[in-house]
Amino acid sequence: MIQIQSFLSVNDNSGGKTVKCIATTKKGSFTRFANIGELIVVSVKNLRAKNKFRSRVKKGEVSYALILKTKTGLKRKNGVQVKFNTNSVTLLNKQFKPFATRIFGIVPQELRSSKFFKLISLASGVI
């Protein structure tokens, strides 16, 4: 579960290293937490050292992000609980398309039910 003011790592090659959650984008009343597969609004805090000049994002830029991994994880209908070691996201532009051309590591299969099929094809594996 990710909440406002949480620091997250970026899990793609867009150029960002760490981001800070500014807001959740759930509909309805005030929502405090976001989970895997949900959109949040983030601000870029640090850039990767290698890609500072070729980076697609700049420091301080506000963009959307999709949560890929959380430490609390999620529970599936068959009883399996999936947890990760880090809280990580991938950065999206205003049309909800990824900045990145590659996603590092694996992504959960719950993204198949959402509209982010492009991210699944960019990832190295699905768990």
Tens of pLDDT, residue by residue over 91-122, are 999 998 888 889 998 888 888 777 888 888 88
> Going by DSSP bridges, is the β-strand pair 7-10/16-24 parallel, antiparallel, or unpaired?
antiparallel
Q: How far apart are CA 84 and CA 15, in angstroms?
A: 22
CA distance 84 to 104: 14
Domain spans of the chain? 2-126
Give the dihedral sign, CA 42/45/51/56: positive
pTM higher than 0.95: no
Question: Span 2-126: which CATH code?
Answer: 2.40.150.20
pLDDT digits (tens, 9 = 90+) for 9-60: 999 988 889 999 999 987 766 778 898 888 999 999 998 877 667 778 888 9
